[in-house]
Structure 1
C-alpha cells in the first residue's frame, strides 16, 4: 500500500510509558465501513484496504509496564488482555486503531485507564494456558456488564511472511480515543512483528458482537506473535 509506513515513525517525546505485548494471536474479519462509521470518535473515520475495513480480536499477555522508560509498575505491569478493535484514520493522516473493548483480569487497571486514556477497559476472569504448540485464551466479562465471553485455541506453527493486508492491520502506530469531550491520537512505536502460523482449533467468541460489530465476510487466517516491546508518546489532539 503506497505511503503506508511499515516501520514506526519517530515517536513524539517524551515517552509516557512502555509495555511488552506477549503471546498474541491476531484474528480478523472484514467489515463494511458504513456499518461501523458511527462507532468512531469525532474527527476520525474507518480506514479501508481495497474498500473494506476490519475488526480484530486480539488476546495476549501484557508484561513489564513502566512509566516513562525506567519506572516499573509491578502490580499493574503483568496481566492478560483481549481487545476488540477497529481501524481508523484522521484528517492529519494518522492511521491507528479504535478500541471497542479491552478485557483485563486486573481490576485496578480498569478505572485508571478509563479515566486517563478514555479506553473502554472491562474487568474479566481470564486465563491463558499453553501446552506444546497449543495456546488457549479464555475470558468471561465481570464488569460493567457481566456475561460476554471469548474462547480461542490455536496451534502455533512455523514463521510466516505477512501479506500486504496483514502488514496494514498490524503496523499500527497509535490509537484514537476520546478523553473529556475531545478526540486524541496516542502514538506508539515497536519493532517489526515476528509472525507464526496460528491454526484455529476452537473459536467461540461473543466479544465482537458485544462491541456492536457484525463481520461482513469470512475470517482471515490467524497469526501468532511471541511479542514486541512497545513505547507510547505524548497524546496529540485531533478534534
Structure 2
C-alpha cells in the first residue's frame, strides 16, 4: 500500500476524536534502526524508510476538537502540540509513530491521553505563530522542584530544581512537494502507544495531504534530551516539510502485544 493510499483507508471503528490540524511542521532525522530500537513500544520496531530509521519533531495547532457524537469543544482541543516521535511499524505492516513526548498546555488533553490512550503528554507552555508563510512553534517546560512529604504536613517545595526542557522551530513554507519520501514521513497509519502493560494501536485517518517544502530559520532546544535523544536539534533535519491544514480522525485499532 502506498503512503498516499493510506490516507483514504476507512476507519475500522467509529472515530474517538476528530481534530482540525493547522500550521503543521514536520522535521525528520535519519538514524540507524538499532539506535532507536529501545525507544519504541514492545511489539513494534523502527520503520525503515528510504534506507533509514527516522526520528521526528512535529508541531501543529489543534482546533475544533470533537468527541463524537458531541459538537466541537474549544476547551478540549484548542492547543499547540510539540512532539518528539519515532516512526514505527509492526508485524501487521502498519506504519505508525510512537510518541516519546507530546508537549502541550492543555491539561484536559494531558489527563485524557495518559488515562485512555497511553500517549505520553507532558505539560508545557506551547504556542504557535504564523505570519504569511512563516510558521513558528515553541514549547517550554518550566523548572519543577522536587517535593518531599513530611509526616503530618502537606507536601511542600524543596530540594533541587529540575532543568526545564524547550524546543523552538521556525520555518518558511515553500513549493508543493510530491515525493514518495515526503508521503511516507507525513502520512502514517496511526499511533503505537503503551498502556497498562499492553502495546496499543490507534488508527489515524485524514484526507491526502498537500505537502510543501520548507526553509529552516530557527531550530534549537533540549527537549529531545528529556526523551533519550540528546543533541537531536543540534543538526539540521534531513527532511523539513509543512502542511497548512487537514482534518484528522482517530479510532481504536487493536492490541499489538
Normalised to the residue count of structure 2, the TM-score between the two structures is: 0.85
SS at match of 2:238: coil
Unaligned runs of 5+ in 1: none
Q: Tell me the residue number matched to 2:121.
A: 121
Q: Tell me the residue number matched to 1:228.
A: 246
- Residue 238 (str. 1) matches residue 236 (str. 2): no
- Residue 147 (str. 1) matches residue 164 (str. 2): yes
- Indicate conservation of the 8 Å contact 2:137/2:168, yes or no: yes
Post-superposition CA distance 1:106-149 (Å, at most 9, x none): 12321221111111101111221223332221110138765110
Distance change (3 Å), C-alpha of 1:73 and 1:79: same
Within-5 A mapping of 1:1-239? 3-7=1-5, 8=7, 9-68=9-68, 70-142=70-142, 147-158=164-175, 160-213=176-229, 219-239=237-257
SS at match of 2:21: strand
- Indicate conservation of the 8 Å contact 2:20/2:245, yes or no: yes
Distance change (3 Å), C-alpha of 1:107 and 1:148: same
Distance, in Å, in 2 between the alignment partners of 1:218 and 1:204 is 10
Task: Kindly report the root-mean-square deviation, in angstroms, between the aligned alpha carbons of the 2 structures.
Answer: 2.0
Distance, in Å, in 2 between the alignment partners of 1:221 and 1:89 is 20
Deviates more, 1:147-156 or 1:128-137: 128-137
Deviates more, 1:142-151 or 1:37-46: 142-151
Distance change (3 Å), C-alpha of 1:70 and 1:108: closer
Equivalent residue pairs, number: 236
Distance change (3 Å), C-alpha of 1:162 and 1:56: farther
Post-superposition CA distance 1:149-195 (Å, at most 9, x none): 0111112233x223211111111021101111111110011011112
Distance, in Å, in 1 between the alignment partners of 2:142 and 2:254 is 32
Larger Rg: 2
Distance, in Å, in 1 between the alignment partners of 2:192 and 2:204 is 11
- Indicate conservation of the 8 Å contact 1:124/1:143, yes or no: no
Post-superposition CA distance 1:50-104 (Å, at most 9, x none): 3311111111101111112543223112101111110111111111000000010
Normalised to the residue count of structure 1, the TM-score between the two structures is: 0.91
Deviation at 1:199, TM superposition (A): 0.9
- Indicate conservation of the 8 Å contact 2:29/2:239, yes or no: no
Unaligned runs of 5+ in 2: 145-161
Post-superposition CA distance 1:1-30 (Å, at most 9, x none): xx3342232211222111111101111111
Distance, in Å, in 2 between the alignment partners of 1:133 and 1:116 is 36
